[in-house]
């Protein structure tokens, strides 16, 4: 009888301890990306090594990755000029130029390669129409923590390569 009690007790304890003995599963990069990210900085690194803040010293932006593989990105200068006419259809040529050169927005679907640490984005719509229907855009993840994402866009639409830093929205 004592033997059965000990066996039963060990079985119960083993069942209770088993989950804590399990090896934790590594979370995929895609799972870590899912959520909303706010732009901290974006630097354009030119071929000659020079750097420039592509959207100024106070850029604004948002990047959203969904679990089902969709994304949206909107980036802009923090100092975009207001239109004098107070109507976006009546911007002056200079106002329109400032907005086009000071912002980018696009959306589509994405996939992630854990082995290469690469995000591949298929762009379905963009304020820069040349992105639509083109080859997948690649983003090289250089750092990813619970609160910060850093990646490089090796083929920026304005030339050079972009180094972007994002902070998870809270």
Instruction: For residue 93, give the DSSP letter.
Output: H
16 assigned to some structural domain: no
Q: Is 26 helix (H, G, I), strand (E, B) or coil?
A: coil
6 assigned to some structural domain: no
Write the CATH number for 100: 2.40.128.280
Q: How confident is the model at residue 160 (pLDDT cuts 50, 70, 90)?
A: confident
Q: Which structural domain range is residue 84 located in? A: 36-168
12 assigned to some structural domain: no
Residues 85, 91 contacting (CB under 8 angstroms): yes
161 assigned to some structural domain: yes
Q: What total of structural domains would you count in the chain?
A: 1
Q: pLDDT tens digit string along 89-98? A: 999 999 999 9
C-alpha–C-alpha distance, residues 75 and 6, integer Å: 65
Single pTM value for the model? 0.82
Q: Please report the pLDDT score of residue 37 as a whole number.
A: 98
Question: Which one is predicted more confidently, 21 or 96?
Answer: 96
**What phi, psi does 42 have (nearest 5°)?**
-145, 115
């Amino acid at each position: 009888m004592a033997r059965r009690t000990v066996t039963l007790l060990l079985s119960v304890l083993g069942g209770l301890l088993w989950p804590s003995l399990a090896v934790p599963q590594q979370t995929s990069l895609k799972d870590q990306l899912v959520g909303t990210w706010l732009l901290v900085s974006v630097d354009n690194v030119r071929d000659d090594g020079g750097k420039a803040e592509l959207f100024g010293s106070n850029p604004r932006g948002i990047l959203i990755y969904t679990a089902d593989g969709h994304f949206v990105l909107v980036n802009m200068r923090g100092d975009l000029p207001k239109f004098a006419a107070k109507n976006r259809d009546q911007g002056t040529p200079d106002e329109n130029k400032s907005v086009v050169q000071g912002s980018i927005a696009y959306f589509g679907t994405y996939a992630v390669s854990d082995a290469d640490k690469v995000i591949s984005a298929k762009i379905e719509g963009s304020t820069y129409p040349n992105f639509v229907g083109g080859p997948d855009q690649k983003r090289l993840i250089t750092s990813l923590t619970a609160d910060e994402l850093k990646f490089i866009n090796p083929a920026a639409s304005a030339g050079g390569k972009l180094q972007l830093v994002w902070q998870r929205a809270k």
